[in-house]
């Protein structure tokens, strides 16, 4: 079944405090983005990689494609104001044959091939899947002024990551619905939930961090020394 992956990589990395997008920072001799792209280039479940990035980064992407022989990587798509806009733009460029669409953050290079394949397998059967890990900490619900309102039941809480994988029609319908009703989300699952679909959780690993702040960069250096894809 033809499967495409959308990689949103148009963020500015404000929380990293760097002058370039965090996806272009070097870890273990390569930009973070390249490590992520290599996971999907290597996955036999993926036929096409569609990357959304800022127009000013298009020449870098071309260089990266050649230098690292990324044969599945298509010409980049321009990113938008929010992650959601970047993905909406990428969705328009997906190959007509694609039946399954995976979405994966550019800044999560520690995704295992097994997580990609399990996520795809689950979405094929159930329509939508998300990779997540069990919450480790006790979680509290608080008011905006920081007063605890209640303690949530940890056994039913999950920290959600990517990949998030969908049958094509489900993701397209969810994005159309979100646009029509001005729904804003930080992940794709939320948009799919709005059209009445409940994604299935695929249990992932705590290694699959989103490199966001300078601390994560230090952790990433350590993780690379022991990472087995
Ligand atoms: O900002 P956040 O950490 O949620 O970003 C997750 C991913 O979404 C990153 O890979 C980032 O480059 C991407 N993104 C994007 N377009 C935006 C904002 C973020 O593609 N406007």
Q: Relative to the CA of 186, which ligand 1 atom is closest?
A: 4
pLDDT one-digit tens code per residue, 110-139? 999 999 999 999 999 999 999 999 999 999
pLDDT one-digit tens code per residue, 151-187? 999 999 999 999 999 999 999 999 999 999 999 999 9
> Does 53 sit in the ligand 1 pocket, CB within 6 Å?
no
Q: Relative to the CA of 106, which ligand 1 atom is closest?
A: 10
Q: Which CATH number fits domain 3-223: 3.30.2270.10, 3.90.1150.10, 3.40.50.2300, 3.90.550.10?
A: 3.90.550.10
- Going by C-beta distance under 8 Å and a sequence separation of 6 or more, which residues neighbour residue 154? 135, 137, 138, 139
For the chain, the structural domain boundaries read: 3-223
Counting ligand 1 atoms within 8 A of each CB, the residue from 11, 85, 211 with the most, and so the one to mutate, is: 11
Which region among 5-14, 90-99, 124-133, 149-158 has the lowest average model confidence (pLDDT)?
A: 5-14
CA 9 to chain centre: 9
Whether 3 shows a pLDDT value over 80: the answer reads yes
- Going by C-beta distance under 8 Å and a sequence separation of 6 or more, which residues neighbour residue 109? 27, 32, 35, 36, 39, 211, 220
């Amino acid at each position: 079944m033809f499967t495409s992956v959308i990689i949103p990589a148009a963020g500015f990395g404000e929380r990293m405090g760097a002058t370039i997008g965090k996806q272009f920072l070097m870890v273990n001799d390569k930009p973070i983005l390249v490590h992520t792209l290599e996971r999907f280039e290597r996955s036999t479940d993926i036929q096409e990689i569609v990357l959304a990035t800022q127009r000013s980064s298009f020449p870098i992407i071309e260089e990266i494609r050649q230098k690292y022989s990324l044969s599945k990587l298509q010409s980049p798509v321009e990113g938008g104001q929010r992650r959601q806009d970047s993905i909406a733009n990428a969705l328009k460029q997906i190959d007509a044959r694609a039946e399954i669409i995976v979405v994966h953050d550019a800044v999560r290079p520690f995704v295992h091939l097994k997580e990609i394949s399990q996520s795809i397998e689950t979405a094929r059967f159930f329509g939508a899947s998300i990779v997540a890990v069990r919450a480790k900490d006790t979680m509290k619900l608080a008011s905006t002024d920081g007063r605890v309102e209640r303690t949530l039941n940890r056994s039913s809480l999950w920290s959600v990551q990517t990949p998030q994988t969908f049958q094509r029609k489900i993701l397209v319908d969810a994005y159309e619905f979100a646009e029509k009703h001005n729904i804003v989300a930080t992940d794709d699952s939320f948009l799919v939930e709005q059209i009445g679909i409940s994604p299935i959780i695929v249990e992932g690993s705590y290694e699959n961090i989103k490199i966001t702040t300078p601390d994560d960069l230090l952790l990433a250096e350590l993780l690379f020394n022991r990472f087995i894809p």
